[in-house]
Each structure stands twice: as C-alpha cells, then as structure tokens.
Amino acid sequence: MELISGGICAAKGFKANGIHCGIRKNRTKKDLALIVSDVPASAAAVYTTNLVKGAPLLLNMRNLSDGKAQAVICNSGNANTCNANGIQIAKEMCVLVAEATGINEKDVVVASTGVIGQPLDITPIAEGMEELKMGLSYEGSKDAAEAIMTTDTIAKEVAVEFVIDGKTCRMGGIAKGSGMIHPNMATMLVFITTDCAISPEMLQKALSADIKNTFNMVSVDGDTSTNDMVTVLANGMAGNAEITEENEDFAVFMKALNTLTVNLCRMIAGDGEGATKLLECIATGADDEETAKICAKSVICSSLLKSAMFGADANWGRVLCAIGYSGARVDVTKIDVSFRSSKGTICVCENGAGVPFSEEKAKEILLEKEIEILISLGDGKYSASAWGCDLTYDYVKINGDYRT
C-alpha cells in the first residue's frame, strides 16, 4: 500500500477538469468540475441524513439505483438546495454532460455546493460545457479539486496504489469541506475513483462500512450539511478479477479505501473554517467500539475544548466534561488524558483526576499545528479516532457574511 500522486486521475481511465464558468463572481476561482471514466463503472454513494437534501442528491439516488455511472459533474458557489426547480436544474446538468460526452445522462453523478436557497442559473454551466469538455485530461485532478472548493483554503486530493489478483490497482480521491461539517453518514463532497474491478454491491458494502470510522468521525462545527455525499466509481481497467465477495482481495480493497479516506479526513479537519490546528482524538481501552467512537467524537465536537486548543490551554477538564455528557457508559474513575504533538507528550489526568504537570511544557506541545488528544477509558480492547480542528475568531468572521 503506497501513497502516490495523481489524485482523482491516478486510476487508469479517468480524466478530469475544472474551470470558472461564471457561477461565482470571483473569476479567479474555478466553479465547475467534470470527472469522466473512459468506460462505464460500478458506482456507490452515501448521502447526508439531513432531512433537507440538495436536489442533486435526490436525483443521484435515482441515477445510481442500478449501481452504474461514468461521469461526475459538480459546481461550487450554489448548493441548488431548497429551490422549486432544483431537480430540473440537476437533470439539465446531467443532460449537458451527456450531450458533451456521449454518456447516458442517467450515468452522470451531479453535485452542487455553496449557498443554500438561491436559484441556480443553468446558463453559465451550459456556456462553459465546451471548455470543460475540451480541457479534460488524465492530469486534471488538481483543476477539478479546485473547482469544488467553497471556503476551503487548500485543494484536497490523495491517491494510493495497491495490488489485487497480481494486478497493480490505483485509487484516487478529491474532497471539499471546510465548514458545515458534522456528518452522520458521509461528509461534505468526496469523489473517489479506482481502476480496480469490483461489483456495485461489494463497492457499496465497502463504502458504507468505511465511512462509519472515517467521514462519520469528522466534525468542524457541529452542522450537518444538506449536500453531503461520498461517491466512488470503479471502472475495472486495472484488469483484476472482479471482486464479488468478501475475500482476501476485498480486504485489500478495504485497506486501500481506508488509507485514502483517513488522509482526506485529516485534510478536511485541518482545513476547517478559520482553523489553525488539526485535532485528532484517540480513545482507547473501551469495552466496545461504539463507546470509543462516542467518546472520541464528543471530545472533538466540544466548542470549549476546541477553543482551549486554539489558545494552547491544557484545560483537560473540558475533555472529561465532553465524555461525561456524551451518553457513553464509562467509569470516570478509570479515565486518563494526555496531549501529544511533535513537541512531546504530557499526561494531565489519571483515573479521572488531575495530576501535576508543567503548564509551560503543555503550552509548547499545544502550540503545534497537529495535536492528538489521547484518552484511555479503561482496560477494554476497543479504540476509535475522531478528527476536528480548533475554534477561532475567524470561524465567526467567515460565517457572519458567508451569503453576502
């Protein structure tokens, strides 16, 4: 298992592009992305559990009902959510891709991200399709990654190489996500491609299992978006025997998928709106996996703890507080807490009570860009990780005038 370059285009047979078509007023920012497979692909997706869903998601549930897709189109700057004609606009985006590429419109995944409740004009998308199609490239991942960004400060792309059935397979992904991040299925927008051959049923099983320990464990601000979606396309061009059951090959595929998604989770959490630090909470010693996950997620979601991390304040009481109201059944008298970064590790709590520690050393540790919050819940064998970021003044500034 090896991380490689190439992003969404690392897998054989995938082209991508991203352009500015005019949805966003700032002409320096791309706002329309297209990803195309040379051949039809198995497809799987997971969607937000928010009852208010963007029109693209509702259409995708129909388009992907057969487990097949060949292209993805995504715009930024407008979420196409809560619009009377939202479904129609989403359909028209699929039709535009079909007319430009020859792909069946029902084999197109459509996505939108940006402001909720503003009508999406199809005109700039239609006028930009020729440029978008003509610029498709096997090296176009970065352009597509930039085109799906909203308040993101960096483009997020990862790729991994692995071997199945003696064949070298590749998997790549791009993601957007900076604010409105608190999923309960997937998170933000994530597009993943692979040239590994796998049936739609097994692809869906792999994705649905993976997100429980990856994207579902990310939180920036406690808000679950209306447009969250993770989509995977597998075109089989690596030439391996198709994975149709849970066997050794499926286990390798799952490991590759997890390697990719964990890296994207860290990128998303670290690029939270206004964030200065990536936080990872690692809960160990739990009696069951669910307890470990509940505790880790509760800590990473605590606004008070996130604020303390911004201020490099080793306020460990906020960790215990978050565990205490999480709903998890734990023995508080067995909880240990430490903070760790590249500057070292410091224990601040043992058996549910504070221990003497150097505030100066703690501050040095917490001033780093990546911080681990280590929690031992007892002597159980289960563990879980959750990812988030600190809470800063800039988060309020960004969201105070996001629409205007």
Alpha-carbon separation of residue 319 from 136, 205, 222 (angstroms): 48, 34, 17
269 contacts 302 by C-beta, under 8 angstroms: no
Using CA atoms, how far apart are residues 242 and 198, in angstroms rounded to an integer? 5
Distance between CA 131 and CA 134 in Å, rounded?
5
Residue 7: DSSP 8-state: G
Q: Is 244 a catalytic residue?
A: no
Of 99, 91, 265, 279, which is closest to residue 175 (Cα–Cα)?
265
Helices (H), 211-357: 248-270, 289-301, 303-310, 317-324
Measured in whole angstroms, how far is the alpha carbon of residue 308 from the centre of its chain? 25
* 397: amino acid identity, one letter: K
Instruction: Return the SS3 of 12.
Output: coil
Helix (H) or strand (E) holding 57: helix 55-63
How many of the other CB atoms lie within 10 Å of CB of 276? Answer: 16
**β-pairing verdict for 32-47 and 189-194:** unpaired
Alpha-carbon distance of 38 to 13, in angstroms, equals 5
Beta bridge partners, 346, equal: 339
Number of neighbours of residue 371 by Cβ within 10 angstroms: 22
Active-site residue, selected from the candidate residues 187, 194, 214, 224:
187
Residue in 294, 298, 328, 111 with CA at minimum distance from that of residue 212: 294
What's the distance, Cα to Cα, between the start and end of the chain in Å? 45
186 near 279, Cβ under 8 Å? no
In sequence order, what DSSP letters do the residues of 321-362 get, joined into one string? HHHHTS-----GGG-EEEEEETTEEEEEEETTEE----HHHH
- Cα dihedral 241, 4, 31, 211 sign: positive
Residues catalogued as catalytic: 187
